[in-house]
Structure 1
Amino acid sequence: MIPHRQLPCTARPFHDETVNSYLARLAAANHLRIEELREHLGVRMLKKTPMGKLLEPLSTLSGYPVHNLRLAMPEFITEQYTDEPGCIERPATSRHRALKRPACRRCTRAMGITEPVTCWTTHDRNVCLRHRLWIGEGCHRIDDQADLRRLPRVCRAQRHHRNLLVRHGRRWVRERFHEARSIYLQWHKEREFQPQHEIVRRMLNLAAANRRPIRKDLLLPVIFHAEIVALTGLLASRHWEQRLYLGEGSPQRYVEEITRREILAGYQLTEEDDPLFDWIKGRVIQHKFCRVHWRAWGALDPDETTRPTPPNRPSRDFRTSPWPFY
C-alpha cells in the first residue's frame, strides 16, 4: 500500500547516490530501522522487482518530487538510451561491473550530510577536483579517501583522463585504463624503477598530507595515477593502433613512446613475461574479432553510462577497431 503522508524528518538526496544508501539515511533521520522504513514504503522488493516501484512511495515519504529523486539516483533511470536532460552520461547501474564507492566526504559535509553516502560511479571518477581528494580505486570506506594537496600531478591526471574520454570514447578508454593499471603495477612488481627517490618522495608527501600511513593497495594506484593515465592514452590512441596493425611500426615504437611520455624511464620491451607484449598480442586477436563482429563485441562489453539516442550511423563511442564503422 502506498503511504499517504511524509515522514517527520527528511534527508536530502546526493547526486548518484544508491537507493539503499538513501533509505539508510532516511531511516536514521527518523530513528527507524531500515526494515521498518521498507514496511512504510509498502513495496515488497524481490530480486526481479523493478526499482521503479519504489519511486512513488519514496517520493511521498521523503517529500521530494519523483523527478528530483529520479535525477538524484541513477537506479531509477531504466533506459539505456535517453535524451532526457540530466539523465545522459549517468552510471549504468544494471551492469554487473557497476561501481559503488563512498562519496567525497567533503562534498557531503558541504551539503550538511553527516552520515556515510554510497554512490554509483564510473572508472574515471578517481579524484574530487573541488576538494583534491582521492575517491577512486581502493576507497572502500570514507576514511580511505586520501588528501592530494601535495600531489598536484594526480589532479592534473584526472583532467587528462576526462580529455581522453572525449577524444577516444568512454567504453574504449575504460577498458584501456584497467589494462594500463594492471600493466603498470606488474611493471612495478617485477622491474627496478628509476629514480627511486621520486617514488619515495610521493609516498612521503601523501602520508604527510593525510597524517597517517596509507595502505599499499591504495598507495600504488594513487602515486602512479599520472603514469597510468598517460599509458591509457597511449593504449587507447587510434593513431598508434593503426601504425601497429597496418604494418607502419612495431612494438618497439610503443617502447619509444613510453619513454617519451615519461611513463617509465629506461623501459625495454622483452617478449618473456612482459605485460605490454602480452597486451599487444591479445589486442591483435581482439582486433580481428571486432573487425567482423563489432556489434557482438558491444553486447559482450556494454557501456557504463546511459547514452543519448544513437543516430542512424554507428556512434564513435562504440569504436572497436581502427577500421570502418566509427
Structure 2
Amino acid sequence: MTTRLRVLPLSPPPVHGETVGSYLNRLADANHLTIGHFSSLIGPSRQHRRDDNRVGYWTSAGLVRLAALTGRTSVSLIHSMPPLGTIGDPIRRLPLSATEEVIEPRRRPACRLCMARRHIRGLVVRSTPHHEGVCHRHHRWLLGDEQHSLTRLPEVLRANRRHQRIVRRGTHPTTALAYVDARDRLTKWFTNEVSSPPLQQRWNRRLNLLGEDPFGDPHRPSASRIELVTYPEAVVLTRLFASPHWRGHSRLPAEAARRLGIAPDQLPLSTSP
C-alpha cells in the first residue's frame, strides 16, 4: 500500500524530542489537511492531540507509511521521536506518578525563539526531561507554558548546567527520580511555608523578578513558577539524593542544610512530599 503514497508537498523535519502528535499536526497544518484525514493516511483515523506521544495503537506498517509520506527513513523518524521505536512493545503501567514522569517526561512547548530561528511556524511540543528545561541560547525556562526569561535569574542558568552534569555522571532513572523527590519536597516547603526564612527570601526575590502572573493568583503562585524559583535548591538536593554515599546516611539532613546554606533545624527534610 505504501507504493501509492507520495511524499507530501510540504514535509518539515521533526524537532528532536518532538511528540508524535505534535509532528503529525504540523504535517497536517502545513498541507492544509485535517488531522483526522492525515492520520487515516497512516492508519486508523484519529484526532491526535499535539501532546500525544502514545503509540500503543500503531503498527509497523503505520511507521512505514509515515516515512513514505515524509520522504524520511523510519530510522531518522525514530531518532527524532523515540516512542516510534517502541511500536509493538507492551505498554507498561506503573503505579508511582514519579516513576511515570521519569519514564515519560513532561510534554511542553519547545523554545519559541529557537523555533522562530529555524523558521518553524506553529506550536511544537517536546518531551522535555527535567535537565533540559532551560534554553541556554535564549535564556528561557521551558518547564512551563510561560517560558520566562532567565536573564535576571542567572542562578537558574548555573543550576541547570550543574543539573546536566549530574545527569551525565549519574545513572538513569536514579538521578531523574532524585530530582522529582527534591522538587516535590521543595514545593511542599514553599507552599506550606515550613522552610527557613533565608530560603523563603530567595524564593520570594525570584518570584518578584518574574513579574506579575496576569492569569494567576498573586498570593498562590502556579506550580510551574514554584518549580522555577526553587530550582537551584532542587538541583542541590538532587545531587545529594542521587549520591550512593548520602542516600540513607544518618547525616543527610545536616549535609543538606550545609549545602543549602541554612541552619540544620530549619530543614524539614524528614517531611514526606
- What TM-score, normalized to structure 1? 0.66
- Please state if 1:116 is matched with 2:123: yes
Deviates more, 1:150-159 or 1:100-109: 100-109
Q: Which residues of 2 match residues 80-229 of structure 1 at below 5 A? A: 97-136=104-143, 139=144, 141=145, 144-188=146-190, 189-191=192-194, 193-195=196-198, 196-207=200-211, 215-229=221-235
* Alignment check: 8 A CA contact 1:9 1:29 kept: yes
* Alignment check: 8 A CA contact 2:10 2:31 kept: yes
2:254 aligned partner: 256
* Alignment check: 8 A CA contact 1:255 1:269 kept: no
Q: Report the Cα offset of residue 51 of structure 1.
A: 4.8
**C-alpha separation between the residues in 1 aligned to 2:195 and 2:174?**
30
**C-alpha separation between the residues in 1 aligned to 2:61 and 2:224?**
38
Q: Report the Cα offset of residue 197 of structure 1.
A: 4.4
- Please state if 1:72 is matched with 2:119: no
Distance 1:51 1:99, change over 3 A: farther
Partner-residue secondary structure (3-state), 1:131:
coil
Q: Which has the larger radius of gyration?
A: 1
- What TM-score, normalized to structure 2? 0.78
Deviates more, 1:94-103 or 1:29-38: 94-103
1:324 aligned partner: none
Distance 1:7 1:168, change over 3 A: closer
* Alignment check: 8 A CA contact 2:196 2:266 kept: no
Partner-residue secondary structure (3-state), 1:239:
coil
Q: Which residues of 2 match residues 311-326 of structure 1 at below 5 A? A: none
Q: Report the Cα offset of residue 115 of structure 1.
A: 0.7
The number of residue pairs the alignment matches comes to 247
1:308 aligned partner: none
Deviates more, 1:62-71 or 1:106-115: 62-71
Partner-residue secondary structure (3-state), 2:14:
coil
- Cα RMSD (Å) of the superposition? 3.1
Which structure has more RCO (C-alpha within 8 Å, separation ≥ 6)? 1
Partner-residue secondary structure (3-state), 2:120:
coil
2:44 aligned partner: 44
1:35 aligned partner: 36
Q: Report the Cα offset of residue 96 of structure 1.
A: 6.4
Amino acid at match of 2:18: E
**C-alpha separation between the residues in 2 aligned to 1:117 and 1:186?**
31
1:232 aligned partner: 238
1:60 aligned partner: 68
Distance 1:52 1:102, change over 3 A: farther
Partner-residue secondary structure (3-state), 1:268:
helix
**Percent identity of paired positions between Structure 1 and Structure 2:** 32
Partner-residue secondary structure (3-state), 1:17:
coil
Amino acid at match of 2:263: G
Q: Report the Cα offset of residue 134 of structure 1.
A: 0.8
Moved over 4 A (4+): 45-48, 93-98, 210-215
Deviates more, 1:68-77 or 1:154-163: 68-77
Deviation by residue 1:194-251 (Cα, 9 ceiling, x = unmatched): 235443321222228x999785222111111000110111122122237x2xxxxx3x
Give unmatched runs, 5+ long, in structure 2. Answer: 47-54, 88-99
**C-alpha separation between the residues in 2 aligned to 1:109 and 1:54?**
30
Amino acid at match of 2:244: R
